Structure 1
Amino acid sequence: MTDPLFHMISDGPRPVAPFSHATEANGWVFVTGQMPTFPDAPDAPLPEGIEAQTVRVMENLKIVLGGIDMGLEHVMMARCYLTDFYRDYAQFNETYQSFFPKDRRPARTTIGVTGLALHALVEIDFICKRPD
């Protein structure tokens, strides 16, 4: 087993709690759930609506992955959290699926929750695998 790595991406989103952007061991990478914040303006208001917030979260995840020389093609599992599941689920799916080719969608769980940091509508985390 290799020693774990703890990644902080210098130009990545500002953490909203005490965590690493990603951790890694033996080729497996666990990316912390990202919020719909703007890395270059972390105190700016969140985007309006589930579509805009989903895009921002996915762009933040891409920034984190890019900071460790990975991309969405390495995502094996996504866990998605929605604060208004029934209202936002369909639009969330439409937006989320646009980031992955139809034949390369990761496994996924989507959960309705009562709240997220910063009063966000969505948060997504990833489990990824580096190529051997």
Structure 2
Amino acid sequence: MERIISNNAPDAIGPYIHATQSNNIIFTSGQIGLNPETNKLAESFEEQTKNALNNLSAVLETAGSDFDHVLKTTIYLSDIGNFSKVNDIYKGYFNDSYPARTALEISKLPMDAMIEIEAIAEKAD
């Protein structure tokens, strides 16, 4: 097992790391819409979504993977009314190679974030 910490993603806000790899499978921690330079949340849902996906991309890259190798994502939304907005942004990151996915509304996210995204991926060849 390997523990993965990306220098290009925001620092963890609790006692966890960015990802864990077992064999060729990578399990990421959830990424919220923090700006990695300021460790502050973006104000709009769209910017939080882009930041969360960019942070997830940085973690995957550090682990030797990318969005083309994601097997499944889970998206947590503070308001399921943003489902279509997240879909519009999300599809631009996966280049039509969409993984399995779950999206659900929950009552509250860390730091009052509007979105959190986690992934399970395989290492790129």
For Structure 1 versus Structure 2, the TM-score category normalised by the shorter chain is over 0.9
Which residue matches 1:8?
5
Gaps of 5+ in 1: none
Sequence identity percentage = 30
Which residue matches 2:114?
121
Q: What stretches of structure 1 move > 2 A for 4+ residues in a row?
A: none
Distance in 1 (alpha carbons) for counterparts of 2:67 and 2:84: 21
Which residue matches 2:23?
26
Which residue matches 2:59?
64
CA-to-aligned-CA distance 1:2-28 (integer Å, 9 cap, x gap): xx1111123321111111100011111
Q: Which of these residues, 66, 78, 82, is aligned with residue 83 of structure 1?
A: 78
User: Across the two proteins, how many residue pairs are aligned to each other?
Assistant: 125
Query: Which structure has the larger Rg?
Result: 1
Contact 2:29 2:119 in 1 (8 A): yes
Amino acid at match of 1:10: N
Gaps of 5+ in 2: none
- For normalisation by structure 2, the TM-score amounts to 0.93
SS in 1 for 2:89: helix
How much is the aligned-residue C-alpha RMSD, in angstroms? 1.3
The answer on 1:98 being equivalent to 2:95 is no
